[in-house]
Amino acid sequence: MHGEDTYLFVHQLMRDAAYDLQLPEARALLHAWAIEAVEQLHGTAPVHVPLLGDASPPLAVDPFAQGLAEHARRALESGHPDAGRLRRKHLDCLWRAALHARGKYRNAEATQVLEAIADSNEETCANRAEAARLTGDIQRVSGQPDSAERRYRQACELAADNALNSEHGLALDRLGGLMRETGRTHAAETFLRRALALLERSGPRRAEGMCLRGLANLFSETGRMDDAIALHRRALALLRDVAYLPGEAASLDSLANLHLMAGQYEQAETLYKEALRVEREAGHLQYEGSTLGNLAILYSDTRRFDEAEAMYVRAIDIQRQVGNRRSEGIAVGNLATLYHRTNRRDDALRCYLEADAIHREVGNRRGEAVELGHYAMLLKEGGDLDSAEQSIERAIVIHREVNNRRGEGVSLGQQGEVFEAQGRVTEAEQSFARAVELHREVRNRRFEVRDMCQRAIVLVKLGRVDEARSVWKAARRVALEQAPGEEISEFEAGLAEACRRRGVPVFQ
């Protein structure tokens, strides 16, 4: 053993022996003095103030809070005479340690401490409810939906039993959001509406704004576009009014998604970039990762593939850094779609399977259905049409179960492609027609153009040329309203071949 190691070993033995020789009362005082010394050194004490949905301002003493909590615990065990003050000190230190770990994305560490607070009979009901809600938040993004639901329900029960209206509203909002993410849309709407009623009455206003945004996202996913737009605008105005930057950025991102869905690329890009600016100003890394992923979709749709790929990779890195498994799965799936579009089939298959595994892990049934649809397209291109048909049928069933009207429309269009490849042209035309109906209902203009073009081609194959001409012209008109018409050009060769085989002139 080296001299320095020997010294440290002997020093530790002597220190432990000196500690063990102290009477319990003296040990208690030593631990209390240690707490006071650290607090004086950093000029602050670790005191917890209920957050009610806001971020916790960091304190200089936060990195040492876990150690201070241990000092407080051992002082209590040794019989410190001021037990009441030290119990509160112990809990306050646990709070600061948990929030510090949460802010550093050390999710397992934060969860362990918050669960101890949520289950502590020595903590107030208000703080226990808050700890349960925050535990649920971490479990939700970490891919533990069942555990998150249990904690959200615990928070709801504690808040309701003790007339804590603001905390009850926050917990209901989180529970509604979890229900939406796991495909239980009817329950989600019930909880979100109850949350909104409480938050409108009791505040805080920033939480009211975020609840409005969550309800707007639900309306968008279930095809109620006018209601979705109105609520998103209300949410953005409210969140700007209270200067809540993370919420403002999230609302900008959601509004951009609606413009992207409608094929309004310039407006969407402007809003995404504004959201990124606000997220970076607020230092909200998790929201930044989501917006980067959405902006990457726009870049892919506008054929800026290199920029899109770089942005997807950055988004995935961020979501892994912050431990957001659900958003990671979505971004990986979208990267797979980019690989598919750029003819990197092996990379696409690898990412589709990875994304599907994450969606199943976190209970994201909508995401699972989306990947099933994408996987079906890969199978179709590889010639395995029976497996492709089975995959797309499973996707449609899930979309209908979770009431995802937009996703159902996309999958019906994919089903039309599979039917066409199988030679089932009549069934293909029916699937494309139904897909277009749903696209119009949810204002998904991008896919409306695609499936109108594909329907026109199969109508030519069926000999319904006049109807095909009318559908093609309508598709061109919609495409010119939103973009340079790239969706149309993608299908021109297919239309020309169908017209040649039918013996009719190609219509423009």
- CA 42-43-44 angle, 5° bins: 95
Average pLDDT over residues 310-339: 95
Q: Work out the percent of the chain whose per-residue pLDDT is above 70.
A: 87
As a whole number, mean pLDDT of residues 429-447 equals 93
Structure tokens at 59: 């304190």
Rounded distance between C-alpha atoms, residue 380 and residue 81, angstroms = 75
Query: What pTM does this model have?
Result: 0.81
Helix (H, G, I), strand (E, B) or coil at 330: helix
Helix boundaries (H) for 22-164: 24-42, 65-77, 83-103, 107-118, 125-141, 145-161
Residue 138 has pLDDT above 80, yes or no: yes
Q: What tokens does 443 get?
A: 């204002």
CATH classification number, 284-355, choose in 3.40.50.150, 1.10.10.10, 3.40.630.30, 1.25.40.10:
1.25.40.10
Instruction: Please give the structure tokens belonging to residue 87.
Output: 């119990």
Please check the confidence at residue 108 and state whether its pLDDT lies above 90. yes
The pLDDT assigned to 21 comes to 45
Of 271 and 477, the one with more pLDDT: 271
CA atoms of 215 and 254, how far apart (whole Å): 11
508 exposed, middle or buried (CB, 10 Å; 0-12, 13-18, 19+)?
exposed
Residue whose entry in the numeric block shows the structure tokens 């033995």: 13
Residue 48 pLDDT > 60, yes or no?
yes
The pLDDT score that the predictor gives to residue 12 is 58
Q: Give the H or E element holding residue 467.
A: helix 465-482
Helix axes 205-221, 165-181, angle to 10 degrees: 20
* Per-residue DSSP letter, 123: S
pLDDT in tens, 331-353: 999 999 999 999 999 999 999 99
pLDDT attached to residue 393: 97
Give per-residue pLDDT as tens, 196-242. Answer: 999 999 989 999 999 999 999 999 988 888 999 999 999 999 999 99
Q: What is the largest CA-CA distance in the chain?
A: 103
Q: DSSP letter for 51, please.
A: -
| DSSP of 345-400 | HHHHHHHHHHHHHHHHHHT-HHHHHHHHHHHHHHHHHTT-HHHHHHHHHHHHHHHH
More confident residue, 183 or 8: 183
Please report which confidence band the pLDDT of residue 28 belongs to, taking 50, 70 and 90 as the band edges: low
Average pLDDT rounded to a whole number, residues 28-53: 67
Residue carrying the six token digits 């808050």: 130
DSSP 8-state class, residue 7: H
Q: In the prediction, which pLDDT does 383 show?
A: 94
User: Bigger pLDDT: 71 or 473?
Assistant: 473
The angle subtended at Cα 446 by Cα 444 and Cα 449, nearest 5°, is 105
Asked if 406 and 444 count as a contact pair (C-beta separation under 8 A), the reply is yes
7 pLDDT higher than 50: no
| pLDDT band per the 50, 70, 90 thresholds, residue 9 | very low
pLDDT higher than threshold 50 for residue 38: yes
Q: Cα dihedral angle (328, 332, 338, 341), rounded to 10 degrees? A: -140
Ranges of each domain in the chain: 284-355, 424-508
pLDDT mean over 74-88: 67
For the stretch 493-505, pLDDT in tens is 999 999 999 999 9
Residue 506 has pLDDT above 60, yes or no: yes
∠ CA 312-318-322, rounded to 5°: 145
Q: H or E segment at 6?
A: helix 3-21
Q: Is the pLDDT of residue 41 over 80?
A: no
